[in-house]
Amino acid sequence: MPRSFILLALTTTLATASPNGGASLWFDKPASDWTDALPVGNGALGGMIFGGTDKERIQFNEQTLWTGDEIKMGAYQPFGDLFIDFPGLSNVTHYRRELDLSAAIHRTTFTANGVNYTREVFSSHPDHVMVIRLSADKPGSISGTFRLTDVHKAQITASANTITASGALDNGLTYQSRILLLPEKGNLSVNGINLTLTNADTATILLGAATDFANSPAQNWRGEKPASKLDRFLTAASKKSIELLRSTHLADHQALFKRVTADFGPSRTDLPTDQRLTAYQKSHDPGLDALFFQYGRYLMIASSRPGGLPANLQGIWNKDLKPAWYSGYTTNINVEMNYWLAEPTNLSECHQPFFDWLKNLATVRKKNTQPAIAAKRGWTAYSTNNPMGGNSTWGIHRPGPAWMTQHLWTHYEFTGDKQFLKSRTYPALKELVEYWEDFLVAGPDGNLISPAGWSPEHGPVKKGDKIVLAEGNRDPQPGASYDQQIVWDLFTNYIDASEELAVDPEYRAKITAMREKLLGPRIGKWGQIQEWMQDVDDPKNKHRHVSHLFAVHPGRQINPVSTPDLAAAAKVSLNARGDGGTGWSKAWKINFWARLADGNHSHKILKGLLAPAPQGGSTHNNLFNSHPPFQIDGNFGSTAGITEMLLQSHVRKNGIYMIDLLPALPDAWKNGSITGLRARGGFGVDLAWSSGRLTKATITSENGGKAYLRASGKIQTLTLPPGGKYDVP
């Protein structure tokens, strides 16, 4: 074969687009830092896999291991580590560790002394355990010492084939972790608090971790003892073969993950992920964008499942006893951003933990009358909260509940679940509407304003005869745009919800009248959207929060079609704020620019975000987003932003949504496709494009419905019967 042909063939294989953008992260060496390790999770039980050959480390977490209570904030806690020391593994070659996102299985493979080793790790949602499978292609090759450690000085014991660590936190929460070692052949012995295995053919290790946390204020947050939970989980799992454990896990994960496929073009799957990340700034690798998109979905499936807690600031993965910002639920952007992707990327079930947490928070806030946040009707909250309604008292965040309750409305918009709308969304919206009805006052021009607004997390202060914007300032700012826009959103969602349910017409009329009187977005002296009631914005201000553009995203008050002047002013504000910022700040900006129909600007920010963290970017080697430090909001927010670039459906007229196909496709994704996205109104959307133009789209509807469809610049009305399907062209 001529050399040029071989080269061509090689380049084509290396750079061919693969489905899901070649949905794997892989490395040619074990992890040295925590942010090199790869995450697995079953919604509650998470592991960071280091993939060492002679020493494996799995640092694990369970999402309910929290200090604090209904008052005290506490912090999310790491659990411990499983270490396995493998003696005599030398002459290691052919090393690879890989996280396959579509299987949710981590695999380490290598050759040592002529034996091929395979180690698999997955965290099974249906079986409630992490499964570690050690195998080799030569019998008798599996030997190792197993150590379970605990970071809270638990009592650790070993007997027969188990190691157990049991302890309690200072809030009375009891916890336990346990491994069960199931070898095939070989000798197993107890060695103090460790287990030693020699010359087995294979070994399966089941790792469980649990607490007596119950996700219920009515039960005072306590339930079944961890030992009893682990007895159940480990006994049941130990009766299953590895094949059954694996296939059960795969079926569960793939039922969610495989709903969406994404292909944005050539993919440098030939490069280990760390090298790929560095090369990305100079090479054309839209496959990394697709991988990063799918990684957000993977992390959501792994950290947020029905019945559990919502993904916290680090999802479920945390190594620190004192994690940054408690690894909690910060309500002025972070926890909401975590869930922007849930509905449009077809993971609606994963949204549920957020709704349950919000309900619990409301319950605690309403019974626990801290005077600073007392409410006649409805409730309000602080910025940073734990799973039990306890909080940091750093900042009152009055519009937080309204912002979060937007998610209950969004869930209805995407699913059309009327029962949910009636029982969950509507009452939650209504009590907050009442809160704001009580709280709003007449402003200087007779408009309605929030008398004690805020724009996270800075504010104007007087310095001599000048006004400057001070970081962290929380002085009450009457009429701050953030409060005004969120209240507008709340009122609008309430009005739409009451119309959908055909209830409370008089109250709806009253709130509609109030919404008209709300002080709305204003354009200031340099053409910007004013962040404050007074026109004091500083064009040099690069603050990470861009709260005064809530109305652009995730709100729906400003958009290029119905409010073009305000949309243009939003661009002025965004350009002034710049394309930098913390990880989540960049992620938010991807969403803003997509909503403002500038896909190239979105992509430019995505590119900046996808630069390695040590070089000023916001991404770690394992593609965890860096604030810094690691915060998962930027992962989830980027996936949401990429979705907004391809599909939008937030504009609603006469109760009908506009499905906007490829509203902000960047030049970088010349040819591609995405399938399985969801749009408001209960539609499914598949898209394909070539040379930057839409070539095919399929819109489906389970329940039937009407939409305005915007494709290639044309708008048409679409009416689908239940089970209906429409193809473009």
Kindly list the residues in this chain that would bind ligand FUC in the complex (CB under 6 A): 313, 325, 330, 332, 334, 457, 544, 582, 584, 627, 631
For residue 461, the minimal CB distance to ligand FUC (Å) is: 18
Residues with Cβ within 8 Å of 341's Cβ and at least 6 positions away in sequence, in order, are 296, 297, 300, 347, 636, 637, 639, 640, 643
Cβ at position 544, least distance to ligand FUC in Å = 6
Nearest approach, Cβ of residue 384 and ligand FUC (Å): 7
DSSP run (H or E) holding 254: helix 242-257
The dihedral built from the CA positions of residue 405, 408, 414 and 417, taken in this order, carries a sign that is: negative
User: Closer CB to ligand FUC, residue 584 or residue 636?
Assistant: 584
Token digits of residue 451: 């008398």
Q: Which uninterrupted H or E stretch holds 233?
A: helix 226-238
Residue number, 221 or 325, with CB nearest to ligand FUC: 325
Least distance in Å: CB of 584 to ligand FUC?
6
Cβ–Cβ < 8 Å for 612, 625? no
DSSP 8-state class, residue 79: -
Amino acid sitting at position 279: A
**Sign, CA torsion 283/102/350/235:** negative
Q: Which is nearer to ligand FUC, 204 or 631 (CB)?
A: 631
Between 325 and 412, CB nearer to ligand FUC: 325
Query: For residues 98 and 416, is the Cβ–Cβ distance under 8 A?
Result: no
Dist CA 328 CA 66 (whole Å): 10
Q: How far is the CB of 361 from ligand FUC (least distance, A)?
A: 17
Whole-number Cα distances in Å, 66 to 213, 325, 385, 508: 9, 13, 12, 41
Query: Based on CB atoms, which residue is closest to ligand FUC, 391 or 631?
Result: 631
Whether 586 and 545 have beta carbons less than 8 Å apart is answered as no
Q: Which is nearer to ligand FUC, 457 or 537 (CB)?
A: 457
Choice between 80 and 400, CB closer to ligand FUC: 400
First to last CA, the chain: 42
Angle between helices 352-367 and 400-415 (to 10 degrees): 140
Reduced 3-state DSSP string for 257-313: HCCCEEECCCCCCCCCHHHHHHHHCCCCCHHHHHHHHHHHHHHHHHHCCCCCCCCEC
Closest distance between ligand FUC and the C-beta of residue 76, in Å?
12
Q: What is the 3-state secondary structure (H, E, C) of 336-378?
A: HHHHCCCCCCCCHHHHHHHHHHHHHHHHHHHHCCCHHHCCCCC
| Residue spans of alpha helices (H) in 503-620 | 505-517, 564-577, 583-595, 599-609
Give 106 or 458: the residue with its C-beta nearer to ligand FUC. 458
Q: In whole angstroms, how close is the CB of 545 to ligand FUC at the nearest point?
A: 6
Q: Which residues have CB under 8 Å from 593's CB, separation 6+? A: 574, 599, 601, 602, 605, 664
CB of 326 to ligand FUC, least distance (A): 9
Tell me the C-alpha to C-alpha distance, in Å, between residue 641 and each of 262, 339, 482, 646, 661.
14, 12, 20, 9, 14
CB of 60 to ligand FUC, least distance (A): 23
Q: Give the nearer residue to ligand FUC in terms of CB position, either 556 or 627.
A: 627
What is the radius of gyration, based on Cα positions, of the chain? Answer: 26
Rank residues 332 and 602 by Cβ distance to ligand FUC and give the closer one.
332
Judged by beta carbon, residue 168 or residue 373, the one nearer ligand FUC is 373
Cβ of residue 333: shortest distance to ligand FUC, in angstroms?
A: 6
CB of 507 to ligand FUC, least distance (A): 34
